[in-house]
Amino acid sequence: MTQAPATVEMIRRDRRHDDMGEIPRAWYADDPGLTAFFNAMSLAIEELEHYLLRSVRRFAETAKDTPLEPQVKDFLFQESIHSREHRRYNDQLQEQGFPAEEMTQVLRDRVKRMEARRTDLQNLALTAAIEHFTAILAHQLLDRPEHIRANGYPPLVRMWIWHGAEEVEHKSVTYDLFCMQVSGFRRYRMRIAGILAATRVMLPFLYWVTWRFLKTDGIQWRWKSWRVMLRVTLVYPGFMRRMLRDYIRWYRPGFHPWDQDDRALLFRWRDSEPGKGLT
């Protein structure tokens, strides 16, 4: 089962961001709060990618000899590369004196407890929900890339937008794999449980790590440490605010990730990339 448009090709890009160099301490808009928020997302992504990979591998065999089989394999490849590149990014945060390892371990322990309490199928439902979060965030980055491109450290900007493009490419794989396993009201009930759990895990972690990173520099209680981050995420370009409509779509019976057709955004990114985004 797959409902991804036939014109969306998942491409195996072994991207190595060797031009990352020494990441500026305030790499986004020279602002510590906005930078800390994106750095918090990187920590969450690296650890959650491992969870997603484990969850999908448990069901990969069920897609054998179906149209979904090559997509599952490409998903596993893309996500493993994402984890590797965010590991390099996060290592630099640790070297800069931020508590990256400590925060990652906190999330790792929480994910392991959460994973152990759930069946394999419940974990797959949660995996699909997490992928919905990353896909709708990716949509915002691809839809309005001008702010981060104009104000961000170019090597990291390229990394974030590349990651976002691949999240769009494979945004329906875990959902379609989950739908192969269960149907009817049980499917819907598990989907809702998954998105509620994903929300409880991701949002508090992002803002807590942002606070901890600001605390490293002793500026966690300063309003100006939060002002730009809150404006950019909630006002303009407001990608967190604009994600709300897409987030709510998940709760609709009959939802599918490709109800929101991102092909134009994806193809625009490919056309802007060296090699047309194909390598």
CATH number, domain containing residue 158? 1.10.620
Q: Which residues pair with 28 in a beta bridge?
A: 152
Query: Is 265 part of any domain?
Result: yes
Reply yes or no on whether the pLDDT at 8 is more than 90: no
With 0-12 CB in 10 A as exposed, 13-18 as middle and 19+ as buried, what is 158?
A: middle
DSSP state of 61: G
Query: Is 8 part of any domain?
Result: no
Query: Is 18 part of any domain?
Result: no
Share of the chain above pLDDT 90, in %: 89
Query: Is 3 part of any domain?
Result: no
Write out pLDDT tens, residues 128-158: 999 999 999 999 999 999 999 999 999 999 9
The mean pLDDT value for 240-253 works out to 94
Q: Domain range spanning residue 164?
A: 32-277
Question: What pLDDT, on a 0 to 100 scale, did the predictor assign at position 3?
Answer: 63
Query: Is 255 part of any domain?
Result: yes
Reply yes or no on whether the pLDDT at 6 is more than 80: no
Give the global pTM.
0.94
Query: Is 27 part of any domain?
Result: no
Q: CA 252, 257, 258: angle at the middle one, nearest 5?
A: 115
Which two structure tokens, joined as six digits, stand for 91?
């290592």
Domain count, the chain: 1
- Give the amino acid at 75: F
CB atoms within 10 A of CB 237: 18
Query: Is 6 part of any domain?
Result: no
Write out pLDDT tens, residues 62-90: 999 999 999 999 999 999 999 999 999 99
Query: Is 67 part of any domain?
Result: yes
Question: What pLDDT, on a 0 to 100 scale, did the predictor assign at position 155?
Answer: 95
The mean pLDDT value for 35-58 works out to 96
The mean pLDDT value for 238-260 works out to 94
List alpha helices for the chain, DSSP H: 32-57, 68-95, 100-117, 120-143, 146-151, 154-169, 173-181, 184-216, 223-234, 239-249, 263-272
Write out pLDDT tens, residues 86-134: 999 999 999 999 999 999 999 999 999 999 999 999 999 999 999 999 9
Mean pLDDT, the chain, rounded, equals: 94
